[in-house]
Amino acid sequence: MNRGEVAALLGAASAVDARIPQPDPDVLTMWTGILDDVPADVAGAAVREHYRHSSETVMPADIVAFWRMIRRETAERRHEAELRARRTARQLDDAGLRAIRDGVTRVTAALAITRGVDPEYAEAEADARRAYLRVPCPYCRAQPGTRCTGPGGKPLTKTPAHPARLDAALTTS
């Protein structure tokens, strides 16, 4: 707030409370210094709220406390809106992942039929592959979603994953 806004605020408050200090230069300087980051409309709302609930004289600390409460509530509402948006996005992502997984299941079954393999066996094998790809490998330190690697850093070819990773997948599922 600037000096003129503080003078107007003190004038309005003195209409309700005769104990409000008259806006002389020293009072204006002090109140302006204390309320410099408070918007004038928020300060007016703080004075209204104060006198609705209290018969004590309003002080700059009351106005600053009201401003902090407004900022905190605004930040909390923004944070809650962001969390709701993230939850919604995650739900959409989960639905998309389920649709992809269903499509992969259908493709796996179709490929199994063309190869002459039992589709249920092929799906069980795909489920096992998904299970061990969800956990990190304690042996080669492969992260979830990546294949296990051998000593040269190349993906394993003879086995789907290290036995330790397969054990970890079995214990977590």
| pLDDT tens by residue, 41-95 | 999 999 999 999 999 999 999 999 999 999 999 999 999 988 888 887 777 777 7
| pLDDT tens by residue, 97-114 | 788 878 877 887 888 888
Percent of the chain with pLDDT over 90: 53
Nearest alpha-carbon partner for 140 in 129, 150, 155: 150
Characterize 73-84 residue by residue with b for buried, 16 or more Cβ atoms within 10 angstroms of its Cβ, and e for exposed: eeeeeeeeeeee
Dist CA 143 CA 69 (whole Å): 44
Dist CA 169 CA 136 (whole Å): 9
Which pTM does this prediction carry?
0.51
Q: Residue 173: pLDDT band by 50, 70, 90 thresholds?
A: low
| pLDDT tens by residue, 27-52 | 999 999 999 999 999 999 999 999 99
